[in-house]
Structure 1
Amino acid sequence: MTAQEFQQQSHKIPVDPGIYKYYDKQDTLLYVGKAKSLRKRVSSYFSKTFTSYKTHELVQRIHRIEFTIVDSEQDAFLLENSLIKQFQPKYNINLKDDKTYPYIVLKKEPFPRVFLTRRKINDGSEYLGPFTSVARVRELLDFIRSNIPLRTCKLNLTDSNIQKGKFKVCLEYHLGNCKGPCEGFQTAEDYQDSLNQIKNVLKGNLNPVIQHFRQEMRAAAEQMQFEKAAVIHKKIEHLENYQAKSIVVSNRMMTADIFSILRDNDLAYVNYLMMENGSIVQTHTVQLEPHLDEQDEEILAFAIAQLRTTFNSLAAEIIVPFPINYDEAGVVITIPKGGDKKKLLELSEKNVNYFKEELFKKKILQLEGKDDMERKKVLYQLQDDLQLPEVPVHIECFDNSNFHGSYPVSAMVCFKDGVPSKKDYRHFNVKTVQGINDFATMKEAVYRRYKRLFEEKASFPQLVIIDGGKGQLGAALDAIEELGLQGRMTLVGLAKNEEELFFAGDQQSLKLPYNSESLKLIRRIRDEVHRFGITFHRNKRSQGTFKNELEQIKGIGKNTADQLLKEFRSVKRVKEAPETEVAKLIGAAKAKLITAHFKSPETTEPTAAEGDNSAS
């Protein structure tokens, strides 16, 4: 749907709050969004320039729009989250969390049993949770069973069966772990009191349980049952010790949900701490994939809605690091500046950082700090997996980088014995390539690197990784052939998305096992060359080393030039675009200036700054 087509029907869009749904030509749901004013929000997609390519792609694919009007922003918020969860549209934020969480179930039966389950079925039983950790649930159950007597048998304890004397007490009764309801030694009311205490323990509310046991201890002492009183006293001590371990910040009663967020390129991580009665009873971190140019505030609000629903939270206070638009009746949003709540937020931020680092460590292989045998073992495995003639003790990896399709640079990282050799890293300002040409840029970088090594009679790497597909690999091989260095090293191409490896001349790619040590090392090297290349490019831009040709046109300022680059992705595309398309974005007067500039015979293609800045 074009902006012009949208304008013809925009007057039909209601101004009320509600949700909107975008469909493509195949009638596939692409995106669900909420709005305070549907007309204003939907119109913004067709009237402004987006910095995100994904948002631009979404708008290009919209064929049909549906609306649902609701009474309030809060209703729109709840309906949006419900529809996203149900349909999981391609362009909505994706919460990567497919785990099955354990519950503690109070079975619907006479004298209910209490046990762990992962299956929540509609059988009338009461399910407490879910919980983020099976170990935590088992610890809770062990704690409960050691302090609150409950039956563990599967007997059908109906009143008639008990009255008929069908059952006899078992060893659990004689050990003091059960009060013997099977023989009528415990009433249903007393058993229900025990269940209520369990619910308090699971909510972190131990004070009522402790008070209950203190009353029992005093009653036993008054009746001269001192041994029984001593047993109850030990249970009280156990509960008080457990309570002391559970309190994180202070012993003041506090019930709240605490959330923090960490962005990392195209991913986001959100940590959730559930605090009840001064105790942290749940902690969980999730990974999210934003598919449009969502801000941190939008991502965090989405995650909060999803996590509070998943874990059945009814906390009336939510603690977050910055203001968010979150509409839920009776809920207060707090942005703490100090005190206990600030400490809780810092604890959440510590957890989310730890989660991200652990994911990174699992994904890549870090051999720093490992002994020589461990490093060699991985390199031997890589040699075997890639069928290399030599052990790859020296590996180099190349990658290209550019800014919105302009100003290309290249980077190379070097790993020796499986660890980075940063003194051998190199970056290259492109000198011989006009405009954007990934293949020619790769060829230039590879040629300059190994021409220098050949002239200096330095050692060559056993393995060279070209970050890109067959085209980039072919360009790199052309450089090696021009230098006459065939056979001196093995070159492989690494596909950016599928993590497939390509060898020269092979029709089929090689896919290493996802968790293999070899692939983890290759990922580590690839991520390092990305980091090094992007950092170099960012520094060059901040220093003003790159000259934007659009800014050299009289009457065109930096903001206009940046706007054009964001829309058309390169100076070349601006040059090739019809004047009418450019005018839609920046106005007719400025579009004429740009057209006149590029028609001038003196105009030349923009190039990156000269100089090699430690490149070889």
Structure 2
Amino acid sequence: MTGSQGNGGKAVFDGKAFVAGLSTAPGVYRMYAADDTVLYVGKAGDLRKRVASYFNATPKVTRTMAMIAQIARMETTVTRTEAEALLLENQLIKSLKPRYNVSLRDDKSYPYVLVTSEDWPRIAVHRGPRNVPGRYFGPYPGVTAVRETLNLMQKLFKLRNCEDSVFRNRSRPCLQHQIGRCTAPCVGLVSAPDYADAVRRASMFLDGRSDELTQEVTRDMEAAAEALNFEEAARLRDLLGNMRSMQARQYVDGKVAELDVLAVAMQGSQACVLLLSFRDGRNLGTRAFHPRTNGSDDPAEVLAAFVSQHYAEQPAPREIVLDRAIEDVPLLEQAFSEAGGRRVQIKYNVRGDRARYVDLARRNAEISLATEMSSQAAQNARAESLREMLGLSRPAQRIECFDISHTMGEATVASCVVFDAAGPVRGQYRRYNIAGIEPGDDYAAMHQALTRRFRKAAEARAAEVAAADSGTDPPVTAEGAGILPDVLLIDGGAGQVAQARAVLDTLGITGICLVGVAKGEARKPGDETLLLPDGRALKPGAASPGLQLVQQVRDEAHRFAITGHRGRRQKARTTSRLEDIPGIGPRRRASLLKHFGGLGGLKAAGAEQIAQVEGVNAALAQRIYATLHGLDPGPGAGPD
């Protein structure tokens, strides 16, 4: 059961009076500034006692005193348990982005190993939303660890990794089968039960049940030998040998390790948290995180915030080893154990192998922090150079860039990439599939993409103003939708810039520095011309740090646009083809492709030639021809 209390007065906030009315129950508190921005979100086992600690006479660090001085009002939410308060705190930090909380900033989603749910499952790397039906194993700290795992799975269990469009249209085994890494289910060289058994065993291995799997394979091998099925016994013997040779186990204190080792390094308010992962005894490698400390210079506070937020999003291993003590360890252990359905332990001040891994993680954290700080210094220098070049009052805190990609007008896609002071903000990248324009009309494509982007911003701003006037909460919008950039880069010349200016003027959006990025005659990097809002055209030259930042953002927009265009174009060329024609099953599809040597040959054939393929009558041939050429199949288009 939850409830809330607040103090909306505009005078100096009376903390002691606010504390007097608070509950002693667990919950979450939020501090707000006069402009209604969120200063801090915290959790408490006893709300009254925790909030009171901010307003007593105990000396506090400068950062905390500065935060308290800005409080205009506070709100609290009561929860049933302290573990529930922990979860709510993490959700609010992620959604509200408070000014003084340490927050985990990670633009890259974790890679997983995916085993799909279909008649003939495939195994693949997956990154992003888990919306593909199947089982996800992970997360892994990096894509290298995932690829190594996939390589291992294919050697041991010979599962397919090809895309479904390839799988459905194979007429003979591919190279993966020839080198012994796939059993070729695409052409029926393995039975469905045998393939399903291989998938089950691969899942056991990925689940960390390799000991159980080894025992099962051993029993099956002995049973096959007793039944005088020596061929099957030899196959299982080879599988068992490969499993044992490839299980390069790393033991910690004599046990198979399933743990994460975390260490933090700090210089001032810059921090790096290094994660070293072990699963089923295998070292999966490291991953460096650079959280926003928002002024905190306490390594224990940064590490505690990381542990709380990271494992609220990712499943915790059985053991988490830290390089220093943090607060609320019993609470975190309880929350992670309840979420995972098994006991999770958090340890520090360890010995033996664990101590060596902590030292390794700490040294890697220091190296990663030094690298990040040197690259951040260069990024700051480029931002300052751009500020001087464009005549801005301060370095740009948000840069957006738009680009258009198509092939002779086909599958036009616009991209919008976002950079902040720390670099790319990939979670706010957007692609726009352009439709309803003349093919190849880049001006119309740019106008449509910018209208869709900034119309949402204008609507979000209007909704915020209306909510403020009515005293209600503003509606929830997509992350970044209501935020306007300081600098808007348009990849193109005066025509594209004119489209951007027209869109902004129509929507009544001001305060954005609009810059066109036009390529030079030789299209060489460094030869770009910047078209400024006042009509000037600058050629800073390749040595300009400001132009280097513009190039970095522009190149990222180009990469993101062309990737989306290629995906859209490929989808258009691989869908609505044979698999969508009524009456065409796997056998007829394979016969057609084999007869004509592929989809290109089939598309070049006439309906009469198609009808000559075994199992294809004249009506079906006409349907195939019409579908491949975008024609109306005519009457009788249903399956035979």
- For normalisation by structure 1, the TM-score amounts to 0.52
Question: How far does residue 44 in structure 1 lie from its aligned partner after superposition?
Answer: 2.5
Indicate conservation of the 8 Å contact 1:263/1:269, yes or no: yes
Change (3 A) 1:73 1:320: farther
Matched residue SS, 2:255: coil
**Residue of structure 2 equivalent to 1:342:** 355
- 1:6-155 equivalences under 5 Å are 6-48=15-57, 52-154=61-163
Separation (CA, whole Å) in 2 of partners of 1:511 and 1:37? 55
Tell me how far 1:34 sits from its aligned partner.
1.0
After TM superposition, the structure 1 = structure 2 runs for residues 357-506 of structure 1, keeping only pairs within 5 Å, are: 357-360=370-373, 362=375
Matched with 1:611 is none
- Equivalent position of 1:355 in the other structure: 368
Show the counterpart of 2:346: 333
Contact 2:94 2:103 survives alignment (8 Å): no
Q: Give, as a single letter, the amino acid of the residue that structure 1 aligns with 2:269.
A: D
Q: Structure 2: which amino acid aligns with 1:269?
A: C
Give the AA of the match of 2:371: E
Aligned counterpart for 2:244 among listed residues 240, 243, 246: 240
Secondary structure of the corresponding residue to residue 45 of structure 1: coil
Residue of structure 1 equivalent to 2:310: 307
Structure 1 residues 37 and 227, CA gap change in structure 2 (3 angstroms)? same
1:265 to 251, 268, 279: 268
SS at match of 1:357: helix
Q: Deviations over 1:492-547 (max 9, x none)?
A: xxxxxxxxxxxxxxxx9x9724979xxxxxxxxxxxxxxxxxxxxxxxxxxxxxxx
Please identify the structure whose Cα radius of gyration is greater.
Answer: 1
| Percent identical residues | 28
Partners of 2:250 and 2:257 within 8 A in 1? no
SS, match of residue 58 in structure 1 = helix
Alpha-carbon contact 1:321-1:345 (below 8 Å) kept: no
Q: CA deviation at 1:49?
A: 6.5
Q: Gapped runs of 5+ residues in structure 2? A: 1-9, 338-343, 379-387, 389-539, 550-640
Q: What per-residue deviation string (whole Å, max 9, x for no partner) do you get for residues 386-442 of structure 1?
A: 9xxxxxxxxxxxxxxxxxxxxxxxxxxxxxxxxxxxxxxxxxxxxxxxxxxxxxxxx
- Report what 1:512 is aligned to: 545
DSSP-derived class of the 2:20 partner: helix
2:452 equivalent in structure 1: none
User: Which residue number in structure 2 is paired with residue 465 of structure 1?
Assistant: none
Alpha-carbon distance change, 118 to 25 in structure 1, aligned in 2, over 3 angstroms: same
Measured in 2, the distance between the counterparts of 1:203 and 1:321 equals: 30
Write the letter of the residue equivalent to 1:241. Answer: S
The Cα of 1:247 is off from its aligned counterpart by: 1.5
Counterpart of 2:153 in structure 1: which amino acid?
I
SS in 2 for 1:94: coil
SS of corresponding position for 1:288: coil
2: CA distance, partners of 1:343 / 1:196? 36
Q: 2-side partners of 1:177 and 1:50: how far apart? A: 66
Q: Tell me the distance in 1 between the aligned counterparts of 2:376 and 2:166.
A: 52
Distance 1:124 1:351, change over 3 A: same
Is the 2:145–2:285 contact (alpha carbons within 8 Å) kept by the matching residues of 1? no
Summarize the alignment of residues 596-615 of structure 1 with structure 2, pairs less than 5 Å apart.
none
1:204 and 1:514 mapped to 2: Cα distance?
50
Contact 2:260/2:320 (8 A) holds in 1: yes
CA contact (8 A) 2:260 2:317 kept: no
Aligned AA (2:24) = V
Deviations 1:205-234 (A, max 9, x none): 533444444455546656777677666555
Q: How far off is 1:134 after superposition?
A: 1.8
Return structure 1 stretches of 4+ with deviation > 6 angstroms: 1-4, 223-228
Corresponding residue SS for 1:343: helix
SS of 1:297's equivalent in the other structure is helix
Deviation larger for 2-11 or 252-261: 2-11
Task: Tell me how many residue pairs correspond in the alignment.
Answer: 367
For 1:42 and 1:292, the matched residues in 2 are separated by 21
The match for 2:173 among 142, 152, 170 is: 170
Per-residue CA deviation, residues 306-359 of structure 1 (Å, 9 max, x unaligned), is: 222444234255555325313232332223442233233223223222322333
- In the TM superposition, residue 89 of structure 1 has moved relative to its aligned partner by 1.6
Cα pair 1:52 1:292 within 8 Å, conserved: no
What SS does the aligned partner of 1:16 have? coil
CA distance in 1, matches of 2:258, 2:267: 30
Computed over aligned residues only, the root mean square deviation of the Cα atoms, in angstroms, reads 3.8
Q: How far apart are residue 17 of structure 1 and its match?
A: 1.5
- Asked whether the 8 Å contact 2:272–2:288 carries over to 1, the reply is yes
Letter in 2 for 1:111: W
